[in-house]
Structure 1
Amino acid sequence: MTTAFPRIVRLLPTRFSRDPSTPRSTENTAAALLLLFTLLAIGWANSPWAETYSAFWDTDVGLSFGEYHTEMSVKHLVNDGLMAFFFFIVGLEVKAEFAIGELTDRSRAAVPVVAAVAGLILPAVIFLAFNPSGDDAQAWGVVISTDTAFLVGALAVIKPKFPARLRIFLLTLAVVDDVGALGAIALFYTDDLRVTPLIVAIVLIGALAGVRFLPRLRGPAYAALGFALWIALYIAHVHPTLAGVAVALLIPVFTPERRQVEQTVDLIRAFRQSPNPEYARAVTRGLRESISINERLQTAVGPYVSFLVLPIFALANAGVRLDEATVMAALQSTLMWGIVAGLVLGKFVGITAATALMRATGLGQLSPGMSLRRVAGGALLSGIGFTISLFIVDLAIDDPLKQDEARVGVLIASVLAFVLGWAFFRITDLISPPEAVGMKLVRPIDPDRDHVKGRPDAPLSLVEYGDYECPFCSRATGAIDEVRAHFGDRLIYVWRHLPLERAHPRAFDAARAVEGAALQGKFWEMGRELFAHQDDLEWSDMYRYAVGVGLDIERFDQDVRVHASKVLHRVQDDAQDAEVMDLNSTPTFFVNGKRHKGPWDAASLIRALEAGRGGDVTEARR
């Protein structure tokens, strides 16, 4: 076994990585571009050349093939054609989250999932309270969706204290939000069905499900069948963008398979020894197939959606004319106020109340480091509705004047949600400022969840954040043994993960391996093996150590490779706690809940524990 398997695992998207800086910068840039094109659309629609805006987007584009001819406007080509790629990416992300991401941990997903459902229903109810009947009532779908790109961008601009866990919560919520919005489009904004092309679409979906079994050319097969499905849905009068979702949900997703990676490494070795085109093609194919098509497509197609499709969509749909007549009509319109109230008030109350209810009833709990106050701030930002909101405006409303009123409502709601979210975080952080970063243990000891040695009710506590490739952590084990021998059952000792991947490239995988062993009750035994062999932490070595400590190797392989989400979440939870506390070195100790400064030899730790015996011991246990 070589380093290729763990290195490929570390290249997976942010849900598997501690360092999200690059994805966040990409998301922020995409949100900024989306905002820029929104302003360009508004400026164009209100410029002296305003008539060219409508004229351009209403221009028909035709396609002829023999006696068959079809045409649609440029705007519909964007909304029905290009936006299929947007929903395709959404579908890929949804599939990945449910298969190998945050939503695989049902207990963790429960709170944001229920909050998202409440954030879908309550805004629609509030909107219908303003517009209970008539044509305007059909636009209730405009208020159900949060714009993920703007939400992430707004969070980056506001920069609340310690945003990592809030960001994960909001992204999980946004996934469910997207599922609900797509379902609403499919169920409520599709009519006049044609049966024959719909049957063809169903057959094509069955064919797409079988593509995964093809030995070769799966990519072209997905593309061809996906395009055919788009045409079939278009002819069937089902909104064709749903073809993107259907294709995405049928594309498999998996973590890298060790056997495939090893075979590719052997090919790389052969190519290194004897470079030739045959080996080069085999290596390229092996590297490509080591990563699931889902992951590859997100990487390949995602940037085009973020930097091309969505800006063009904004340019085509955000061009509302803000003349006096339009603005006055909007301000007097229950349609506009229903959209503003639904997005801003509905999202805030729905998400916050559902979260509070889940916590109060014990049906769910927030991730470590999260609070209801943080959720409330995120709920305010969730009122930013743009992409799908504007998309549904075009589906739900036929009258161009009413469409303008609805677009004004979406824009006002989005700006208001951002301003209120910014003010909320600024004011709450000012009233209740966080303490010095990292001086107190951010997450109390939980004997049911943490890896502990000693009595759960011991009066003294020692928490270590470390990694298994750190030589100082290995040396500290002797000091810990002395400290535990000195205090006996008066001390509880806790290990938490802080894999410093830049300094120790194998630390993250070593932590995963130990968590895999923990599922079989061999956490401490596996940890000792890793500390004893810090220069040999390849996956092949760790499988050998797993056998040495008596693990069921097939179960271990399943836990760290196939069903890896639980293992990953345990490591990531500890690492994110360390990020919140700004920990950047190992080992880092917390004595009775307070960060230990100075030497960590046995004598120094004993003195620190003795000095803190009558202090804030309860802080670590709360």
Structure 2
Amino acid sequence: MSTQERSLKTYKATIVALAAAVVVLLAVIAQMASSRGATAAPAQATATATVTVTATPDGAGAAPAPEPTTRPSLSDEEIAEQERFLLETLPKRQADDPLAKGAVDAKVVLTEWADYRCPFCSVWAEETLPQLAKFIDDGTLRIEFRDLAIFGDESIKAATAARAAGNQGKYFEFQHALFAALPNQGHPDIEDAVVMGIVEELGLDAAKFQTDWADPALEEAVMADSAEAGAMGVSSTPSFVIGTQFISGAQPLEVFEQIIAEQAAQRG
């Protein structure tokens, strides 16, 4: 059984549990976000603090403080339960996960949901992600990528191409090259020539890549990731969970650095 197939079975097994937990989860995320200096909360949490974040193509993004609104009262036990979900269930921490980088036992896991046709996802991947390498290198941070294909078939096409590269151990190299090749504006189409040019540039086995790219299991895995995001109320890209903290949008590097440091300190 391939890594992608194992991941897909894991995704399917967790979708029902995720859907059942989503209402309380979103409320807890927003409550914790408000009390700990959050940058944003999911828009779906209508009974919680809501923030609109405006990111610009150069990667700058406003990080306004949440505006207090009516929130459900949650017990310490409920908050602790949802923190356990964010810390123990959401992160996969699989050693052979091609969509992850960093130590399996890192103090902090950053889960990212992105679409390859999202210009702000491209900006974040090109400008912010490389700056987080210091946290990965010292064992503090692990990054786990998940697809959220919201811009149609071309988004799925790009996501499956990246996974096909991941089958040859080059997921993030392909991701970086594809984002760099696409304009950071609009929702560009994914040209076969661009994809195969990256395959050649990375020295991948082109025949294996094309076979894997056409494998329906990869599209199923992309759709499973997207369904998981939907079950959690995550509907925009890029979105992130860092430890117990939710972030919406391509926020400035300093926001990520601060939250990673805070979450690492909380984990001891």
Q: Which residue, 190, 193, 202 being the options, matches 1:537? A: 190
Q: Quote the Cα distance in structure 2 between the aligned partners of 1:444 and 1:580.
A: 15
8 A contact 1:497–1:574 mirrored in 2: yes
One-letter amino acid of the counterpart of residue 16, structure 2: M
**Residue 580 (structure 1) aligned with residue 231 (structure 2):** yes
Q: What residue is the counterpart of 2:132 in the other structure? A: 483
Matched residue SS, 1:446: coil
**Are the structure 2 counterparts of residues 592 and 107 from structure 1 closer, same or farther at C-alpha, using a change threshold of 3 Å?**
closer
Q: What residue is the counterpart of 1:201 in the other structure? A: none
Q: Which residue, 50, 71, 90 being the options, matches 1:443? A: 90
Deviation of 1:592 after TM superposition, in Å, equals: 0.8
Matched residue SS, 1:613: helix
**Residue 551 (structure 1) aligned with residue 204 (structure 2):** yes
| Runs of 4+ that moved beyond 3 A | 105-109, 436-442
Q: Quote the Cα distance in structure 1 between the aligned partners of 2:115 and 2:11.
A: 28
Q: Quote the Cα distance in structure 2 between the aligned partners of 1:483 and 1:460.
A: 12
**Greater Cα offset, 595-604 or 457-466:** 595-604
TM-score by length of 1: 0.29
Deviation of 1:472 after TM superposition, in Å, equals: 0.9
TM-score by length of 2: 0.63
**Residue 370 (structure 1) aligned with residue 16 (structure 2):** yes
Matched residue SS, 1:596: strand
Identity of aligned residues (%): 24
One-letter amino acid of the counterpart of residue 370, structure 1: V
One-letter amino acid of the counterpart of residue 194, structure 2: D
Q: Quote the Cα distance in structure 2 between the aligned partners of 1:507 and 1:452.
A: 20
CA-atom RMSD in angstroms: 3.2
**Residue 594 (structure 1) aligned with residue 245 (structure 2):** yes
Q: Quote the Cα distance in structure 2 between the aligned partners of 1:581 and 1:456.
A: 23
Q: Quote the Cα distance in structure 2 between the aligned partners of 1:557 and 1:597.
A: 34
8 A contact 1:506–1:538 mirrored in 2: no
Q: Quote the Cα distance in structure 2 between the aligned partners of 1:598 and 1:540.
A: 30
Deviation of 1:573 after TM superposition, in Å, equals: 2.0
In the TM superposition, 1:157-172 aligns within 5 A as none
Q: Which residue, 222, 241, 250 being the options, matches 1:571? A: 222
**Are the structure 2 counterparts of residues 107 and 610 from structure 1 closer, same or farther at C-alpha, using a change threshold of 3 Å?**
closer
Q: Deviations over 1:438-484 (max 9, x none)?
A: 84757322323362211111112211111112111111122122123
Q: What residue is the counterpart of 2:61 in the other structure? A: none
Higher CA-based Rg:
1
Matched residue SS, 2:169: coil
Q: What residue is the counterpart of 2:157 in the other structure? A: 509
8 A contact 1:461–1:593 mirrored in 2: no
8 A contact 1:369–1:443 mirrored in 2: no
Matched residue SS, 1:437: helix
One-letter amino acid of the counterpart of residue 241, structure 2: F
One-letter amino acid of the counterpart of residue 525, structure 1: E
8 A contact 2:117–2:151 mirrored in 1: no
Matched residue SS, 1:612: helix
Deviation of 1:569 after TM superposition, in Å, equals: 2.5
Deviation of 1:523 after TM superposition, in Å, equals: 0.7
Deviation of 1:509 after TM superposition, in Å, equals: 0.6
Matched residue SS, 1:458: coil
Q: What residue is the counterpart of 2:67 in the other structure? A: none
Q: Which residue, 488, 494, 504 being the options, matches 2:144? A: 494
Matched residue SS, 2:24: coil
Q: What residue is the counterpart of 1:608 in the other structure? A: 259
**Are the structure 2 counterparts of residues 433 and 498 from structure 1 closer, same or farther at C-alpha, using a change threshold of 3 Å?**
closer
Deviation of 1:551 after TM superposition, in Å, equals: 1.4
**Are the structure 2 counterparts of residues 474 and 599 from structure 1 closer, same or farther at C-alpha, using a change threshold of 3 Å?**
closer
**Residue 469 (structure 1) aligned with residue 58 (structure 2):** no
Matched residue SS, 1:550: coil
8 A contact 1:530–1:537 mirrored in 2: no
In the TM superposition, 1:45-444 aligns within 5 A as 367-371=13-17, 434-437=23-26, 439=29, 441=86, 443-444=90-91
One-letter amino acid of the counterpart of residue 604, structure 1: V
Structure 2, gaps ≥5 residues long:
30-84, 183-187
Q: Quote the Cα distance in structure 2 between the aligned partners of 1:614 and 1:467.
A: 31
Q: What residue is the counterpart of 2:66 in the other structure? A: none
Q: Quote the Cα distance in structure 1 between the aligned partners of 2:113 and 2:212.
A: 23
Deviation of 1:614 after TM superposition, in Å, equals: 4.3
**Are the structure 2 counterparts of residues 453 and 542 from structure 1 closer, same or farther at C-alpha, using a change threshold of 3 Å?**
same
8 A contact 1:455–1:492 mirrored in 2: yes
Q: Quote the Cα distance in structure 2 between the aligned partners of 1:526 and 1:586.
A: 19
Q: What residue is the counterpart of 1:235 in the other structure? A: none
One-letter amino acid of the counterpart of residue 130, structure 2: D
Q: Deviations over 1:289-343 (max 9, x none)?
A: xxxxxxxxxxxxxxxxxxxxxxxxxxxxxxxxxxxxxxxxxxxxxxxxxxxxxxx
**Are the structure 2 counterparts of residues 456 and 106 from structure 1 closer, same or farther at C-alpha, using a change threshold of 3 Å?**
closer
One-letter amino acid of the counterpart of residue 554, structure 1: A
Q: Deviations over 1:318-375 (max 9, x none)?
A: xxxxxxxxxxxxxxxxxxxxxxxxxxxxxxxxxxxxxxxxxxxxxx99622235xx9x
8 A contact 1:368–1:573 mirrored in 2: no
